[in-house]
Structure 1
Amino acid sequence: MHALLAQHEETARASLEPAVLGYYAAGSGQEVTAGEAEAAWLEYRLRPRVLHDVSTVDLTTELLGARAASPFVVAPMAFHALAHPDGECATFAGAGAAGALGVLSTRSSRRIEDVAAAATGPWWFQAYGMRDRELTLALVRRAAAAGAGAVVLTVDTPYVGRKGRVDGVRISVPDDQYLVNLAQHLVPGSIAREAAEQDPSMTTDVIAELAEASGLPVLVKGVLRGDEALRCVEAGAAGVIVSNHGGRQLDRAVPSALALPEVVAAVGGRVPVLVDGGIRGGTDALVALALGADAVLVGRPLLWALAAGGAEAVTAALEALAADLAHVLAVAGATRPAELDPSMVLHLGARTGLLR
């Protein structure tokens, strides 16, 4: 882990309320998947190129019309106000100052429009297919009107995963945060939190539905199989995000680092492929980009940064990650992410120590 990220985490763990810390850190089940995320990237080794001019490195990344300073993207995460009074407004201000793309969660604790006003960089909106589908459609329309460049549909949560560190699936969040974006769209007489829960009957039809409602490209987040990624692309997905939801959904699901090559191969360059889960430094990102990812999302480390020092710490974390990537990219013999390819990485047998 990058030293600054480790420092932010230490500060956050000392300052956050125990219940909030437990909620942010929790994985589902026995937390096997959550615990494997970082180690999975360490199973890869690099094959650097030599005698290439690497005096100038350019991390500029373009994704579906969004131009960012680096391939590091702020992952969608719920309820930032539990970590900092300014919540997502601080996170997205910090991301914009670093030139980073951010993805705003449906479970944001601040109004979409307020976060959009605070954001100084490109941003996307993450959506759930909720039991009251009109809630989902209303939110993506608002996000599009506020300036979102894409919709990220999370598909690995037909039910929210149970977490041992909290009582059930999440801690108690006040209505003024939980319903801040939902209350105005609720049907009179409906039970708000039930209407806003995930719809377990959702199918690939929702991809086109969200694209039509928002007028934006729709990426699908939460894919770990090549065949499932292809289904989503054929249903209209403009991008795929390889993710196991930070180990917070199906425990013992495969680490994203190991699922990525299969998904990249299946998609075959038809749409961008992004990945999250355990990215903690430039070398992790280098491996992911070499395996075919177009960008990498970072989650918990940016919540720790937010808790440790607000918008400025979020900026510092993203800039530190970018500087780390620029360094290892040059040492590996490349000047930009597009020069990386799978020939630059080897996977080590986790138990045998043999190359495979």
Structure 2
Amino acid sequence: MELNKRIDMLDYLRGFALMGIILVNIIPLLSVKLPAPHTINSSYWRFLYLFVEGRFYTIFTFLFGVGFYIFITRANAKGRNGFVLFLRRIAALFIIGLVHVQFHPGEALTVYAICGLFILPFYNVNKMVNLVFGTVLLMILGIVSFKLFMVFPLMLLGIAAGQYRVFENLRQHWKTTAIFTGVMFLLSTSALMYQYQFIPVVFGNGSEGDYQETQHFLNIGITIGPIISAFYMGLMILLLQFPLVQKVLSPLKSYGRMALTNYISQTVFILLAGKMLHLFNHITYVQSLYLCLAIYFVQLIFSTIWLRFFRFGPLEWMWRVVTYFEIPPLKKSTKT
């Protein structure tokens, strides 16, 4: 692989994942109340927990594993110690996460940093071992609905994807990607039809039975999440083989290139809106969607404009400084 060439597909997928993550994260951040049955808000609740929750964080976590492998490989190829650089990188991520978690309980960065330590030894493990072990462990943890612990095997599968050079060779293997996506579509359809049978009428705020019914529905969603995530990724990869789609979705690529900045600023925007507009405990599920759409609009435009003039997002630049103990130029060169 070229040492400094970005893999655009990864940026598109990161941006795509971020757009799904905010839809779920906004709910606890603004203490959105559970909806009444048979309302448009209850319909949106069902949509979230059928098609969003447990689907997009899975993609983002998998991509962290891919990025982990590419980062160390490229650092080593440049004659640097990739393991040392990665340790600095996750140490910085952990500190950012510690600050972020004060405002967003349950955020992912500290978990990613800790899991980064555990996946480090697997960099040199055989790719088939990583693939099989990651798949089996993910299936086991998915069946028992251990969402937090699923982070590790998802990252491990990301490492395996990096070892197999999946994202460098997509154009040569588009038929394989199409078959994979078709299989995942059939599995996702079956899985969602199964989960749909257990949709609760009252969303866990009634009797003990209502709560258990809701929890069972949510646990099924966690179990089938990776299957639907795989379909989403496969579909996005296929669509992005068309130049027109790439052009239309180019703001998404910028959004993904600034994933850390945009992930943190999502929380900032949500909490500012909650404070200024008095939304805490007073916003509905559908209204939370409108706020997310407004945040998309601002962040997509900002990311696109920022990267026209600068090489990295603001937090990405700071992260790079700590990782390399160097101060890289932030502004793009004006030389032609």
The reply to whether TM is greater than 0.5 is: no
Q: Which protein is richer in helix relative to its size?
A: 2
- Could you say which structure has the higher strand fraction? 1
TM-score in terms of structure 2 length: 0.29
Q: Give the TM-score taking structure 1 as reference length.
A: 0.28
